Structure 1
């Protein structure tokens, strides 16, 4: 992977030196400056492979550090800016971090990189990168001690090749980076893939706040000014973006050709409304353990209700309803655990239809009612998330054996409207009550999409309960 990406970057720096590679606000870094940055900081990072944590909430700085660490053959570990202190401490200990770029309370060596603007010009082609760079990805999960996924060059190379064939990036592309660089999907498809193609990556620092319920206006403004061709969203962010466009009577820029969305199930109704507002959304499916992308709906070849065709080079089979992945994108393993060989059981339920993968939800989230009915919560939750004012929802079987649903609100919604949204479901799958939580509530929304299910029991005790009837008054989050 590193050979191909960095040789392409070197070629772009030679053939089109003033082309912008990375942009954030008024700060622009051309391909020539980016190549010089890598060459100069390779001296600082020279030496045996070490585990380098990248700890910054600035997406441009995180991207630069990732590129420098990878080019120099080290192990990169992003510290997600949304992690708690205890999760950060666990990350540092579990990954055996010995060096940190950025701010970190851990008692390890801190390293500063020379910024691109201060690096001397590169007078020759960029040297080949140091081989065998790796990255450890800590997903937010639902516990205080998430596992670290070890991804090597083999996994990155295979994922890049598969995504490249699926979406055909070009040098004219402008990728609007909205997800944190700490997420593997954004690293693969939002940083390395555009640079491989000679495209521009445009960062939006305000997107981190929006991801957790903050204002959406900065993202709409970034879209208008950057006029991107591609971006990646999670369903909750897509829902809020559609709501913002609807509220402001705005259309998305016509420059967009692909918006990839994944991380949780997306309602077909939400996808349809997104298309109506000029958002060319294509659902995909993947997980960090398989280098983020397993299947994707292609531009000009998408089918609602599916996550598209499996990427070239990746193999998927269904065993007793469970999605099983094999091939070169499967991780090396969890750090501190035995290496993974062969297939990876995803824990996700799915099936194929006309060669396209349909994901039906998590196997371990299945709810079995006292009446013996099996209900996949994502099926019910997707009905609520068809309304952009409800970026996420969580179905919960309460201790009294009643189904209730917690709706995360970005704008006021009436309980009677919840009843309407659920009306197409069979009676056994309809919750008997609803509770409302604001989208801005800390820790409620997961960065990979959806609600943090570990909070459902607590929220059930703390939030007001509304029976699902048409007699209730308006409820404001």
Structure 2
């Protein structure tokens, strides 16, 4: 499916009166949405200088974000959606790196954008402001229509260039796989600039003719990259009558715990609560389902235009990441690395080398006899103990954070006789409870993978503390530097007799 075929779906006569998007201030039918997209496209094309070439957006969730994204797709403008949880320095770095000549966002951006040569062109009060500047064109792979930025372990954003046909191929595969669930209302619970929500929550919903219910992130209970209020999320789910939503594992963990400790019940109309972004674990899935949540794990990456595998009702293997979706091909390299094909990104911003047909993901895993993918951790994170055993820390971390009292955990121990853990507890739990939880975890592990020394983290793993990337992954080097001296104190050298 190409962009024009996709956009023509907005104008199908059978959809015209059907709800397409609902946010805090407006409800748009498919016909309304098509008109809004056309009006936005006219505004972008009518700039006082030359038409926009690369447009970066800094916007909260809402109908305006979806309209802008579809208008860029209609005009062939490269859209660079930036999450609100990026710092201003990261916004500027990505805007400059992408060669953006237009930025869409609130008027509050004016001071920092003015320093980079942007001038405001506010236009109508019911739409985002546009800031423009002349900018030298940046060389991009042919057919690039979107650049999604991911923050790696150093926190430096990396631009992945995506094509329309590949993104829409993934969305079509997701739509086909989930069609038996007959989802008609989807709540956008993740930031729309996050590719997972953009592809699975917007494009797939539009292909199916479903409605997107979208609210500012604060009303969903999500603040920044790592603050989540499960009570607000529960209220948003109920008010939206949503039949599907996408969450991160830490959101599922918090929501499951909240349901377990309150009189609230999971919304009865919810048919799919897809979980992605990191490993989930069999124990968390079981706990969520015991609370009535239809939680199913998937797997994907930006370099493959998001979701590649997904568990679904009736086709489920808890603890796995699901089977490959219709658009995806998955294989395991001889060294255990997962490789995918079928919907590749066009390349990285600033690099002229195309990605290979079979893309190495950097993740280790296996395919079982039934075709389910089991992800076993990041290849670069593999620990080799002092006894020569290879251990994926994510394997143990998933088991640790499945314990009710552990919010965050990072396992260390490269070259050590035994592994250690740095723990950030859930509120209200003490060291005795944490010790018992670690012992329970050790009981499910082979001897070489058990936790020996452990300690309370000196700070929470957040962007502000420098211990987490903007997308919530722990910065292992920083955590090790802050804690290894206490976790693995150096012993005085003993003379050899």
Both proteins in one fold, TM over 0.5: yes
Partner of 1:407: 423
**1:142 CA drift (Å):** 2.1
Contact kept in structure 2, 1:210 and 1:216, CA below 8 Å: no
How far apart are the structure 1 equivalents of 2:127 and 2:194? 26
Q: Alignment partner for residue 410 of structure 2, among 391, 394, 398?
A: 394
Change (3 A) 1:236 1:75: same
How far apart are the structure 1 equivalents of 2:67 and 2:180? 21
Partner of 2:71: 68
Change (3 A) 1:458 1:58: farther
**1:305 CA drift (Å):** 1.8
How far apart are the structure 2 equivalents of 1:392 and 1:168? 35
How far apart are the structure 1 equivalents of 2:185 and 2:120? 33
Partner of 1:451: 474
How far apart are the structure 1 equivalents of 2:143 and 2:258? 44
How far apart are the structure 1 equivalents of 2:101 and 2:305? 24
Contact kept in structure 2, 1:240 and 1:389, CA below 8 Å: no
Partner of 1:45: 44
Quick check: 227-236 or 433-442, which moved more?
Answer: 433-442
Does residue 22 (structure 1) correspond to residue 21 (structure 2)? The answer is yes
Contact kept in structure 2, 1:102 and 1:110, CA below 8 Å: no
Contact kept in structure 1, 2:205 and 2:212, CA below 8 Å: yes
Partner of 2:381: 365
CA deviation map 1:4-44 (0-9, x unaligned): 33111112xx4344433222235323323211111112211
Change (3 A) 1:133 1:334: closer
Quick check: 286-295 or 385-394, which moved more?
Answer: 385-394
Change (3 A) 1:397 1:112: farther
Does residue 422 (structure 1) correspond to residue 442 (structure 2)? The answer is yes
Does residue 160 (structure 1) correspond to residue 171 (structure 2)? The answer is yes
Partner-residue secondary structure (3-state), 2:233: helix
CA deviation map 1:53-75 (0-9, x unaligned): 00123444333322222222100
Structure 2 matches for 1:107-118, cutoff 5 A? 107=116, 108-110=118-120, 112=122, 114=124
Structure 2 matches for 1:67-466, cutoff 5 A? 67-103=70-106, 104=109, 105-106=112-113, 107=116, 108-110=118-120, 112=122, 114=124, 134-168=145-179, 173-204=184-215, 205-206=217-218, 207-209=221-223, 212-320=226-334, 321-327=336-342, 329-337=343-351, 338-353=353-368, 354-397=370-413, 403-413=419-429, 414-416=433-435, 417-431=437-451, 432-436=453-457, 437-438=459-460, 442=464, 444=467, 448=471, 450-460=473-483
How far apart are the structure 2 equivalents of 1:111 and 1:166? 43
Change (3 A) 1:373 1:87: same
Partner-residue secondary structure (3-state), 1:147: strand
Partner of 2:4: 3
TM-score scaled to structure 1, two decimals? 0.86
**1:114 CA drift (Å):** 5.0
Change (3 A) 1:194 1:309: same
How far apart are the structure 2 equivalents of 1:86 and 1:401? 41
**1:400 CA drift (Å):** 7.0
Tell which has more relative contact order, 1 or 2 (C-alpha 8 A, sep 6+). Answer: 1
Partner-residue secondary structure (3-state), 1:307: coil
Segments of structure 2 that go 5 or more residues without pairing to the other structure are 129-141, 490-497
TM-score scaled to structure 2, two decimals? 0.83
Contact kept in structure 2, 1:290 and 1:330, CA below 8 Å: yes
Segments of structure 1 that go 5 or more residues without pairing to the other structure are 119-130, 468-477
How far apart are the structure 1 equivalents of 2:473 and 2:161? 24
Change (3 A) 1:363 1:439: closer
**1:298 CA drift (Å):** 2.3
Change (3 A) 1:270 1:171: closer
**1:178 CA drift (Å):** 0.9
